A = this chain, B = another copy of it.
Amino acid sequence: MKSLLSEIRHNPLLWLLVAVPIVLVTEKAAPEAHTFLFVLAVLAVIPLAALLSHATDTISAKTGDAIGGLLNATLGNLTELIIAVTALHAGQYMLVKAAIAGAIVTNTLFMLGASFLLGGLRYHVQEYSRAGGRLYSALLLMATVALLAPSAVADLDLLHGEALTQRLSTSLAVLLIITYGLGLVFSLHTHKEFFTSEEHGETHTQGPIGVAVGTLIATTLLVALVSEIFVESVQKAAERFGMSPAFVGFIIVSIVGAAAEMTVAFSAACKNRLDVSVSIALGSASQIALFVGPVLVLLSYMVGPAPMNLQFWPGAVTMVMISAVMATFITSSGRSAWFIGVLLVFIYAIFAMTLYVVPPAAQRPG
């Protein structure tokens, strides 16, 4: 516990942990205060995500290269997964899908772009390994193709269209998970020498593994509790703020879920370790696309009121595709300067503006 406490003292993000008991109590005391609950839930999720990420790192470091890398890769987006499972259980498929697409886009454009911008403000030109960028870009491009297919089939307006889309989505989910697994074999085993420089940064503040496992389990439970409050309140809070569910899922949920990783990516960029930033941003995006999303499709058979498919509304597919192409183009040079960061962040701003402007009714998938 000492290391956890010293961690809290050094990381201002963790002071937000005080929001966790407040939101749990408020939910009992004033379950109708949706907007207040929403804000509290957002504030509570951010430090919990940071703790989760820290515990995962510690366990990975203790268990050695191969298993550690696997654990890190699998649990890296645990927060997003828990929030999405909660929304799945509540049958809010629009929110789940917006969160999946939004997490891909937010990690690819905003996290990467802001890293380039923050790094570029301190260093004239920054260099980074191209191997990681190429692998993750290729994975993202493939996932984009997989997301296109069900939407294209759904557009055909067929007799048994829904059943076909569902069948195709389930097969694609299995294919994507296999691809993700083979990608791990490739980057952690057969060709790991191309990806070695990408260890995550904060390895110096690790406590014993028992504490880490305990933290992991306890925090997961807390995130699950807070996620439930978040998912319940988000709809009504969004209406209050005049935001569409697509905007909330795409932008708000994504930024909240990735807040912990962003602090690591940004601080690495400021230390001129752009390899780490690129690896976190694009690695996380491709993990969402090839692992978290497909797992949610398969889980929906058990957890949700009905199976969920991979059919996104056309704008979401276009945004994911543009993000994947921009990531491919931008990371192909292995160099960065501040203006590259500005461009990526501005493209993200265009997406956010578009989603904000469009009224809720127009964004439900057919």
Interface residues of A (CB under 8 A from B): 124-125, 134-135, 137-139, 141-142, 145-146, 148-149, 152-153, 156, 158-160, 164, 167-168, 171-172, 175, 178-179, 182-183, 186, 190-191, 314-315, 318, 322, 325-326, 328-330, 332-333, 337-340, 342-343, 346-347, 349-351, 353-354, 357-359, 362
Contact = CB atoms under 8 A, between A and B. Distances in A.
Given A141-B326, A146-B350, A359 B182 contact: no
B326 A153 contact: no
Q: Which of A125, A142, A351 has the most CB of B within 10 A?
A: A142
Contact of A168 (B135, B191, B357): B357
B357 A145 contact: no
Contact of A138 (B142, B338, B343, B358): B343
A342 B146 CA distance: 14
Contacts of A183: 339
Number of copies of this chain that the complex holds: 3
A7 to B, nearest CB: 37
B353 A145 contact: no
B332 A332 contact: yes
A359 B165 CA distance: 12
Nearest to A328: B329
B318 A148 contact: yes
A349 B328 CA distance: 22
Q: Is the interface of A mostly helix, strand, loop or mixed?
A: helix
Contact of A354 (B153, B186, B191, B349): B153
A357 to B, nearest CB: 5
Contacts of A354: 149, 152-153, 168
B318 A152 contact: yes
A104 to B, nearest CB: 16
B179 A346 contact: yes
A43 to B, nearest CB: 29
B158 A329 contact: no
A89 to B, nearest CB: 28
Given A179-B346, A318-B152, A168 B340 contact: no
Contacts of A135: 339
10 contacts: A135-B339, A138-B329, A138-B330, A139-B343, A142-B347, A149-B351, A164-B358, A168-B357, A175-B346, A175-B349
A295 B318 CA distance: 27
A307 to B, nearest CB: 15
Rank and list the top 10 A-B pairs by shortest CB-CB distance, nearest first. A186-B339, A149-B354, A156-B362, A168-B357, A164-B357, A142-B343, A145-B347, A158-B362, A146-B350, A182-B342
A244 to B, nearest CB: 12
